[in-house]
Structure 1
Amino acid sequence: MEVTLLGTGDTTGTPTPSCKCETCQRARERGVERSRFSVHVHNDRTGESLLVDASPDFRSQFLSNDVDLPDAIVISHIHFDHLDGLGNAYRLLEDVPVFAADEVDPATGESVAETVGDKYDYLDAITVEPRSPFEPFETCGFEVTLVPVEHPPLVCYGLHIEDPETGATLALSGDSNYAIDDASRDVLRNPDLFFADGIVPAAYCEYHPAGGDHADADGTYRTFGTKHMTVEGARRLADDLDADDYRLVHLSHYIPADEAFDDDMAVDGERFEL
């Protein structure tokens, strides 16, 4: 299993356009990109590739990285920075299944799969394939499981991806706060590699209208507002799940420059062999 981080940033990415903050300036100096989130998972045995989330930066990500176009796609939720790259399927892809959860979201009245089907009904190149959370399915030679996480107000899913031949495992928290329940944690547990959503340090919760949540015994918030983990929360979740290795993703440019490029903070183009 070859895993490539195509996009490791939040909704504005880093560097953020027109931003002169120290973190964005440092990213420009280093030649570092954190574009909108997407992960490429290649199966060395079958020669097939799975794309996790379709970033709006789809075109530039595939031009910048020496990876194949996807044979299948999984969509975790319907926020634009994870979904809107599907439009790139037009004249690029052919007969690609797009897997998404089939449970109805009370906030929208339809499932992620139905939303994808409605929004991209003009794309003959893709076929939406609804799948139930916690029920593994096979694609690209991998066993994939959608795992419910907490990203209010919308439903959202993490992922567990396993190569049944080699036993290699990749887990993704999805866009989530720290309150992932035990059933989901059990599926995500003990991965070879874990990607955890950590958007800002806990100290920044004072600037969020909703503050922070899920404080630890020392009072450090593990959730920023309601939707995403703090850097501290994401690191704690990686530890909770006994991940062999991990990277923080969905990173914002609000992380102070002196911390923003720590070894566990992902940048676009990182590649892992599992």
Structure 2
Amino acid sequence: MQVTLLGTGDTTGTPTVGCDCDTCTAARERGISRSRFSVHVEHETTGESLLVDFSPDFRQQFLENDVPLPDAGLVTHIHFDHLDGLGNAYRVFDALTVHAPDEVDPVTDESVAETVRRKYDYLEDRIGVAGHDPIEPFETCGFEVRFVPVDHPPLVCYGVTIEEPETGTKLSLTGDSSYDIPERSREVLADPDLLLADAIVPAPLCEHHPMGGRHERPDGTPRTFGTKHMTREGALDLADELNASETRLVHLAHFYPADEAFEEPLAIDGERYRLG
């Protein structure tokens, strides 16, 4: 399994358009990018590949990284920075299966799969949407895949596990999530060879959020920034609890102080990992 981190940033990315903060300035000077989130996973035996989330930066990500176009895709939730790149299927793919959770969200009265079908109905001649029950495994591109419920209010959102059945090699992604991931989901996410964990900002920045932080450590350090995303500290605690062999922090905002923004284990675009 070869994993390429195509996009490691949050909804605005780093550098952020129009921003001259120290972190965005340092990113420009160093030629570092954190575009909107997307992960490419290639099965080296079958030669097939899978894309996790369709970043609005799809075109540039595939121009800048030597990876094949995916044979199938996954959509974890319907926020634009994870979905709107699917429009790139127009004139790029002859046929593409997009896998998405089929659990109805009480906020939208649709499942993720239903929203994708409706929003991209103009591409129905080349995109097929396959709905799946959360936690239940399905096969695609030679992998066993599961959508794993997490916590990203107000919408339903899912993490993902991707395993090679023959070797047992496992990639886990938290998806966009607070630290309050259900216990059953933690069991499914556990023991990955590589964990990609949402870590939007360091914990001290919670004092600047209108809702502060929550899910604190015993010493009071917040593991969740506001309500929707983990702090760096929360993501690292989760990695320990999941017994991850290796962890990269993703979905990173440009609010990280410049002297911390590019330190380990914070990921940047273009990183590659061979698992197994």
Q: TM-score, normalised by structure 1?
A: 0.99
1:222 — aligned with what?
223
Deviation for aligned residue 1:136: 0.2
Within 5 Å, give how 1:133-144 maps onto structure 2. Answer: 133-144=134-145
Deviations, residues 194-234 of structure 1 (Å, cap 9, x unaligned): 00000011111111111111001000000000000001101
2:56 — aligned with what?
56
Q: In 1, Cα distance between the equivalents of 2:248 and 2:172?
A: 11
1:190 — aligned with what?
191
Deviations, residues 56-112 of structure 1 (Å, cap 9, x unaligned): 000000000000001000000000000000000000012211000001001100100
Question: 3-state DSSP class of the match of 1:154?
Answer: coil
Q: In 1, Cα distance between the equivalents of 2:184 and 2:227?
A: 20
Q: In 1, Cα distance between the equivalents of 2:228 and 2:129?
A: 26
Letter aligned with residue 81 of structure 1: D
Within 5 Å, give how 1:144-159 maps onto structure 2. Answer: 144-159=145-160
Within 5 Å, give how 1:97-246 maps onto structure 2. Answer: 97-123=97-123, 124-246=125-247
Letter aligned with residue 134 of structure 2: P
Structure 2: segments with no counterpart, 5+ residues: none
Q: In 2, Cα distance between the equivalents of 1:161 and 1:167?
A: 10
Question: 3-state DSSP class of the match of 2:161?
Answer: strand
Question: 3-state DSSP class of the match of 2:215?
Answer: strand
Letter aligned with residue 271 of structure 1: R
Deviations, residues 125-162 of structure 1 (Å, cap 9, x unaligned): 11000000010000000000000000000000000100
1:247 — aligned with what?
248
Deviation for aligned residue 1:30: 1.1
Number of equivalences = 274
Q: In 1, Cα distance between the equivalents of 2:257 and 2:40?
A: 28
Q: Do residues 272 (structure 1) and 273 (structure 2) align? A: yes
Q: In 2, Cα distance between the equivalents of 1:93 and 1:34?
A: 25
Q: In 2, Cα distance between the equivalents of 1:170 and 1:205?
A: 29
2:34 — aligned with what?
34
- Greater than 6 Å deviation, 4+ residue runs: none
Q: In 1, Cα distance between the equivalents of 2:147 and 2:26?
A: 36
Q: In 2, Cα distance between the equivalents of 1:258 and 1:210?
A: 26
Q: In 1, Cα distance between the equivalents of 2:218 and 2:188?
A: 26
Q: In 2, Cα distance between the equivalents of 1:249 and 1:263?
A: 11
Question: 3-state DSSP class of the match of 2:98?
Answer: strand
Deviation for aligned residue 1:267: 0.2
Question: 3-state DSSP class of the match of 1:34?
Answer: coil
Q: TM-score, normalised by structure 2?
A: 0.99
1:92 — aligned with what?
92
2:262 — aligned with what?
261
Question: 3-state DSSP class of the match of 2:150?
Answer: strand
